[in-house]
Structures are given as C-alpha cells and as structure tokens.
Amino acid sequence: MTSSPAPPSIVGTWRLVSMVNPDSSGGAKPYWGDHPSGLIIYTADGYVAAQLYDPRRPRLGVQWDRADGSAARTAFAGLATYFGRYSIDADANTITHTVEGAMAPDWVGSALIRGYRFLGPDRVELRVITNAQGERVNNGTVLVWERVGQ
C-alpha cells in the first residue's frame, strides 16, 4: 500500500516573489513594479506576520518620525504590514488572517481572507478575496511567495 506525500505546509518564512493585479483581459499588471519586497511568516502555533514594501519608495532623508506630511504619505502608501492569527480552511482553499496589529489602525480586528494554492512545496500563491473592510474583492491582487525558511 502506497501513501501519497503529505501536502505542503504553510508554516515557515516566505519571501515575496511577485505581486500583480489581474485585469479584465486575463493579463496582470505589477502592483509595485517588477520586484516588490516582502516577508510573511506563519508559525506552527497559528500566528502570522506580514511586511510588504514598494522598493521604489523614495528615501525620507530624515528620521521617520520627523518626516513631513508628504514624505510620510508616500512612505505609508508603499507598505502593508500587520500581524495576528491565521486559520486555514483546506476544503475552501482559503487562509484567514485575523489582524491584531497593523500599520493602519482601521485594519485591527479585520479578517483578511486569501485564497491559496501551492505551486510547489516551496512556492505558494495567495489571492486577495476580502479587503480590510471585509468587502469581497473581484480579481484581487495575486501574491506569489517562495519559502526561505522553516
């Protein structure tokens, strides 16, 4: 009797490979250019921490808490960071991130639902299904992550 291999695990540290917005013609447009930056970490005990950055953000030129409003807005608009708990619904192929802390206070308490599929044992695709306001997103952003650690 042969057994099938265990499915890949989401637990680990993942580096962002691509981040695109699908368009109505079946193509996709890079969200933050061709080389977005980010890490997402899933722990075995159910915690998630995500940091995503637009590497094209200009330097502030001053200490972050002394940046003027325009510089701070540009820096803020080019990042998404949060942490909290996660749960997986294997039947629906979704993972829900329940936000406990975030760069945007309005995200705290929200449930970010992502469709997931493994593209291999060390590559996973996450598709945005709901935004931080709990609204369903049509043709949501697609993020591909590559495992860099356990």
Kindly report, residue by residue over 8-27, the tens digit of the pLDDT. 899 999 999 999 999 888 88
Distances in Å between the alpha carbon of 5 and those of 2, 95, 148, 150? 9, 21, 21, 18
Residue (of 104, 79, 85, 71) closest to 19 by Cα position: 79
Whole-prediction pTM: 0.89
Q: pLDDT digit string (tens) for 46-59?
A: 999 999 999 988 88
